[in-house]
Amino acid sequence: MLNNFSWQTGHSDFAKLSLTTPNGASAEIYRYGAHLTSWKTRSGREWMFLSSQSLFEQGKAIRGGVPVIFPQFSGFGPGPRHGFARNMEWRLSREPHNGSCTFLLEADESSLAAWPHKFHAEFTPTLADDQLTMTLLIRNIDDKPFTFTAALHTYFAVSNVHQVELSGLEGLTYWDNNGSDFHKDRFVQKGNSLNFPGAIDRVYFACTGPLQLTDGNHKLSIQAEGFRDVVVWNPGADAAKNLSDLADDEYQKMLCVEAAVVDQPITLAPGEVWSRSQILKELS
């Protein structure tokens, strides 16, 4: 049960909410983007990567943590890349209770200019000693249907990306973002484990089981409830040099394993609700 929460001043005077459990687990969530930037288990292990060069500026995405991607994943649509939700001010609609709180975003003039639909979005992190559950909820409050893609773009902190392993992928179909056609060029993962000698940018489809991230003696279970797709991304050395909000060598300290809905976009009729979660649990 949560016994402490407080509002603090974070980077660039942005407001952030700090959550703590009695046994010392913690999380930090910025009001800007409802962006979770830190999650430590009771062991003290920080599982979220945050770039030292991240831009905490209005209209700019925070590099690291868990950007909320809505209503468009990447460039899969006509709108802004990765949508607008990560660059907007959310408000706390439910104060922390029993380890959980809820941030709310609703359509305004700026969002309607980018995407002409009225919506209600909620991001709910739930903190326990060794577990973090993050839930994204979308409600259509418009008078017409709308279609979207979405993701929790989770950046994990690792000791060295070249030495970690992601398992649980065997038999899954995936698309490799190397200039191939998203709908036609698909492959099957042959081995159970994935290593990262270089850059990677893949979407794995119809992933129903948990994945496991192994970083030396540290292990993390990564489970998605309802999100059908998993994005695995690391820019590698060359592309990292082109990212102004990432130090050249910081790519070695991160790995994105994202709960996503990309392959089959979601259509909601007026009044309908869609809710999905990513569940992270430290195993050792």
Query: Nearest-5° angle of CA 166, CA 84, CA 276?
Result: 50
In the block, tokens 């000693």 appear at 129
Cα–Cα distance measured from residue 108 to residue 117, given in angstroms and rounded to the nearest whole number: 10
Cβ partners under 8 Å of residue 91, min gap 6:
31, 103, 104, 105
120 tagged catalytic: no
Reported as type and span, the H/E element at residue 125 is: strand 119-127
Q: Is 181 left (phi over 0), alpha (psi -120 to 50) or beta?
A: beta
Name the active-site residue from 35, 153, 250, 282. Answer: 153
- Please state, in angstroms and as integers, the Cα–Cα distance from residue 181 to each residue in 190, 204, 239, following that order: 20, 14, 21
46 is a catalytic site residue:
no
Q: Which of 28, 122, 250, 258 is catalytic?
A: 258
Catalytic residue list: 153, 258
